[in-house]
Amino acid sequence: MNLKEQIHSAVAQSFEELGVSASPPIVKQAQKREFGHYQVNGVMGAAKSAKLNPRELATKVTERLNLPIVNKLEVAGPGFVNIHLAPYAIEQQLMQLGDDVPVPSPEPRHFAVDYSAPNLMKEMHIGHLRTNAIGDAIVHVLEAVGHQVTRVNHVGDWGAQFGSLLAYLDQLDNTEISTELKDLEVFYQSASKLFKTDHEFAERARGYVVRLQGGDAQCVALWRQFIEESIKHCQDVYERLNISLARADIHAESAYNDDLPVVVAELEQQGLLEESDGAMCVFLEEFTGKDGKPLPAIVRKSDGGYPYMATDLAAVRYRAGKLRADTVLYVVGAPQQLHLKQVFAVATAAGYLTDQEFRHLPFGSILKNDGKPFKTRDGAEVKLIDVINEAVTRAYQLVREKNPSLTEEEHRSIAEIVGVGAIKYAELSKNRGTDYIFDWDILLSFEGNTAPYLQYAYTRIQSVLKKAGVEPTDLRGQITLAEPDELDLGVKLLQFSEAIEDALEDYQMNVLCNYLFELSGQFMSFYEHCPILKQSDPEIQHSRLRLASITANVLQLGLGCLGIKTVDRM
RNA sequence: CCGCCCGUAGCUCAGCUGGAUAGAGCACCAGGCUUCGAACCUGGGUGUCGGGAGUUCGAAUCUCUCCGGGCGGGCCA
């Protein structure tokens, strides 16, 4: 049980004894130092519904509170209970940790997390950073607390647009193909330009779509070659970004091709289908457009083709039925909200979804400095690989300047980790729901609330531990929290578990980022004010080394959850 | 027109299951390296929480309304 749970349960028991257990205790970390470590906000609400004087009830609660970890309790303001923790209790709980980092242990479930999902027609751009960084972090946190997680990369490898690509590919010879595919964006643009300007080419492109969908062998072979190349590009980017998606995690759109007619047939059997202008649609009452007219979910187009509604339904069917996931999380942009709502609603109506939890975790779009959205067609998009390279270059220059004694090889490997960490953290540290401004200087900042700040705290600890000549396993003695900075750090360390819980509450990774930033700040303050190696009292020195060591463990695990590596020197 | 999202310090953002005097980072100013790594620390001020109304002991947070911006809305994904 973490600190909050310990307090919560004690307060809940007092509430019960006082006959006000109908109201929740509402225990929170105190907002200000002067209010102690935790505060109980639930007394006022409880007093209100029981028609009691809030301050009197608060006093009664404090009198009954059976909580040995508490040093001081006080009733404040209109009826808050402020809780100051006892240093020895923090010391005890820290010492019990050993080398473990405290994480919550919920009932294990099977999660599937759908993220990344690049369209193989286009090279990944800056916008893909969000789904990759956020999705991968969620996966890591879920695994860290003991859930079973299936990564799902629903890559877009199918559809009418592939016609022009194939037509274009077909007129190249093999060596040209491999060189042309090095820059997918240009490749795609050349093809679509031809499609627009060359009528004969456009005709041929349409023919390729039909042949591809019909399973024409030569066409399929060409398609495979393109997909293969394109996936290689993606995997390279994942590796560069330290994203844990493997090829085996790819479950592409085309994998559902055979299921599409089945899905339509099943919808038909359930009487959900209706024809409208030649298209097969599902009309659900909850979705209405203007004038209250129902909005169709088109599952088969009038030309017989299947739109992505069908594919996504097939995916739901698979994930709930065959994959048997308890919870499926879609880390997909906010613009798809209505679409996914429809998908889940139709899937529920069709009986594909019963008691599984399917959730869309939307994230905002990238905006330019002026607050206007990036256009998708005008070439304003920044390639993801370019952002990575820029970040690593800046980190390289910085690390070389700050730490010239390292070797060239060290400079390079550190720059890779620091640069990549910085851009991922920039995404993760923001509330995922809102739009964000794309700004090189913010994205690539190495100061303040950034990944390099956290990594820097980690290297300082490693440096101290190394100079002290101790291994973490040597540190088994007494922890003493005498100084305010020591106590604050100790409490903060124990709160890692609460941060993970809160982050998982609504899958907000910025909650974890905030915690790690505060932890690092607390460590920096401790580091400045509580000398370790210069400390003459060996017991105090040992205690501080141990605090530092635990901090390093928490930082490493926390950053690891965010998909960010640590370095011993930087 | 309908639906969803957003509007918090000069900038980028936290805080949103209602709680105390609304917080960080950047930028700016002043201190701190012969002393465990200055990518750091200490101190300094900044707000009509878009406007208005309502709910109540208490609203940035919940409700309504208006203004401003974004996104989505039958055969692209």
Q: Give the pLDDT of chain A (570 residues) as one tens digit per residue.
A: 899 999 999 999 999 999 998 888 999 999 888 899 999 999 999 998 888 899 999 999 999 998 999 999 999 988 999 999 999 999 999 999 888 898 999 999 999 999 999 998 888 888 899 999 999 999 999 999 999 999 999 999 988 778 888 888 777 766 676 666 666 777 777 787 878 788 888 888 888 888 888 888 988 988 898 899 889 999 999 999 999 999 999 999 999 999 999 999 999 999 999 998 899 999 998 887 666 678 899 999 998 889 999 999 999 999 999 999 999 999 999 999 999 999 999 999 999 999 999 999 999 888 877 767 665 444 457 889 999 999 999 999 999 999 999 999 999 999 999 999 999 999 999 999 888 888 888 888 999 999 999 999 999 999 999 999 988 888 888 999 999 999 999 999 999 999 999 999 999 999 999 999 999 999 999 999 999 999 999 999 999 999 999 999 999 999 999 999 999 999
Q: What global pTM score does this model have?
A: 0.94
Specify the nucleotide whose C1' lies closest to residue A445 (CA). Answer: B26
- The bases of strand B with some atom under 7 A from any protein CB are 1-7, 11-16, 19-20, 23-27, 32, 35-37, 39-42, 57-58, 69-77
Specify the nucleotide whose C1' lies closest to residue A548 (CA). Answer: B36
- CA-to-C1' span, A349 to B4 (A): 22
- CA-to-C1' span, A31 to B20 (A): 9
Q: Is the ipTM of this complex over 0.90?
A: yes
Spatial separation of the C-alpha atoms in residues A321 and A300, rounded to whole Å:
22
Specify the nucleotide whose C1' lies closest to residue A394 (CA). Answer: B39
Specify the nucleotide whose C1' lies closest to residue A462 (CA). Answer: B37
Residues of chain A with CATH 3.30.1360.70: 3-85
Specify the nucleotide whose C1' lies closest to residue A419 (CA). Answer: B39
- CA-to-C1' span, A518 to B41 (A): 14
- CA-to-C1' span, A538 to B61 (A): 50
A3-85 is classed in which CATH architecture?
Answer: 2-Layer Sandwich (3.30)
Contacts 24+ apart (CB under 8 A), A72-80: A72/A36, A74/A36, A76/A35, A78/A44, A78/A54, A79/A43, A79/A44, A79/A47, A79/A54, A79/A55, A80/A35, A80/A39, A80/A40, A80/A41, A80/A43, A80/A44
- CA-to-C1' span, A431 to B8 (A): 14
- CA-to-C1' span, A546 to B66 (A): 58
Q: Which of A91, A396, A129, A401 is nearest to A240 (CA)?
A: A129
Specify the nucleotide whose C1' lies closest to residue A435 (CA). Answer: B6
Spatial separation of the C-alpha atoms in residues A449 and A524, rounded to whole Å:
13
- CA-to-C1' span, A181 to B63 (A): 55
